[in-house]
Amino acid sequence: MTTTALAPDQQCAQAVELARAAAVEVAGPAVGEHLGLEVEEDRVVTHSFATTDPAYSGWRWAVTVVRADGYDQVTVAEVVLLPGGGALLPPPWVPWAERVQPDDLGPGDLLPPPKDDPRLVPSYADVDAERMPFDLHREMGLGRPRVLSLEGRADAAERWYEGQAGPDAPIAKAAPARCDTCGFFAPMAGALGRVFGACANGMAPDDGRVVALTHGCGAHSETVVETQESTYSGMAVEDDEFEVVERPAEAVAGQDDEVVATADAPEDAGVPGVDDPPLDDVVDATEESDAPSELAGGLADDEGA
C-alpha cells in the first residue's frame, strides 16, 4: 500500500516572510536563507531557515505555520532549532547511576546501592555469609542487615583478579616470587581469603590494598640482591685526554727555587737512613739496559719529548 504525499497548503507554503519574522524574533539576526518546507499535516507546513551562528553550524531554524479550516489567515505554531545532517550533537544521555565512576565519590558524597542490588542479600538468607564475632547478633538480626551475595563475591573476585592486583599485571610478571610466600602478606578471612589477602609492606605499590595470592612485586620479603665485589684496584688514565693547565707565576717561581736548592747540594749527598750509592756511581740506564729494542726506543722517545 503506497502512501500519497500530502500537497502543501498554498497559504501556508507562501507564508515564508511570516515564518522568517517569527525566527528572527526568537534568534535575532542569526537567521539565514530559506532552505525549504516540509508538509506535516493538512494545512500544517514547516519552513526551514539556515542559522548563521558559528556555534550552531549545520543546524536550522524550523518554523511551523498552520491555517485553521475555513480561514485564510496563517498563524505560527512553534519555532525550534533543529540539527541538520552535519550538525555537532552531544553524546547520548546516560543516567547518572551509569555515569558515576569509583573515583567520583568524594568526602560527604552519598552513593546508595541500586534497588534490589544483586550483589547484596539479607544476612539471614545467605548461609555462606561470614559469621559475626557473636552468633547472638546473627540470630537476633543485630549484625549487618545485608551481606555480599555469591554473585557479589564472584564479581569482586573477577574484578580484583583481572586488575592490577592479579597475576597478569606487568609488575607481577616481573616479580621474583608470589604474594602467598611474602612475609608482608596479610591473609583475608572468609571465602575471598582463599584467593586474596592484603599487602602490608609500606614500600610496596600495593600497600593497604587487596592482592591475589598469585600477585607479586619487587618488594617481596625474601628478595635478595647478590652484588659482585669489584676487583678493580687502580685508576686508568687515557694518555690522549690530558688537559694543559697554565700554572700561576708564584708556583713557577717556587719551583725554580727548589731546582736551585737541589743544584747546590753536594754530588755525594744521600738520604739519611737509606743505603743508596753515591750519585757518581749511578750509571746511565740506557747504556747498560738489557731491555728489548722496542722498550729502549719508547724510553728514548719519552726523553726526546
Is the Cβ–Cβ distance between 186 and 171 less than 8 Å?
no
pLDDT of residue 210: 94
Q: Which residue has the cell 565512576?
A: 101
The distance of Cα 243 from the centroid of its chain, to the nearest Å, equals: 47
pLDDT tens column, 75-106: 999 999 999 878 888 888 888 878 888 788 78
CATH topology of domain 10-83: Nuclear Transport Factor 2; Chain: A, (3.10.450)
Q: Which residue has the higher pLDDT, 130 or 220?
A: 220
Segment among 14-18, 78-82, 166-170, 271-275 with least mean pLDDT? 271-275
pLDDT tens column, 171-194: 999 999 999 999 999 998 888 889
pLDDT of residue 104: 82
Q: How many CB atoms lie within 10 A of CB 88?
A: 10
Over 80: is that where the pLDDT of 107 sits? Answer: yes
**Beta 120-122 vs 146-148: how paired, if at all?**
antiparallel
- Residues whose CB is less than 8 angstroms from the CB of residue 120 and which lie 6 or more positions away in sequence, other chains included: 113, 146, 147, 148, 149, 152
Task: Pick from 87-96, 209-218, 249-258 the range whose average pLDDT is largest.
Answer: 209-218
Residue 211's pLDDT band, with cuts at 50, 70 and 90, is very high
Main-chain dihedrals φ then ψ at residue 59, nearest 5 degrees: -95, 170
Indicate the domain borders of the chain: 10-83, 116-148, 151-212
Q: In sequence order, what are the beta bridge partners of 121?
A: 147
Over 60: is that where the pLDDT of 278 sits? Answer: no
What's the whole-number average pLDDT of the chain? 76
Is the Cβ–Cβ distance between 166 and 214 less than 8 Å?
yes
pLDDT of residue 239: 54
pLDDT of residue 191: 84
Positive or negative torsion for Cα 46, 81, 54, 94: negative
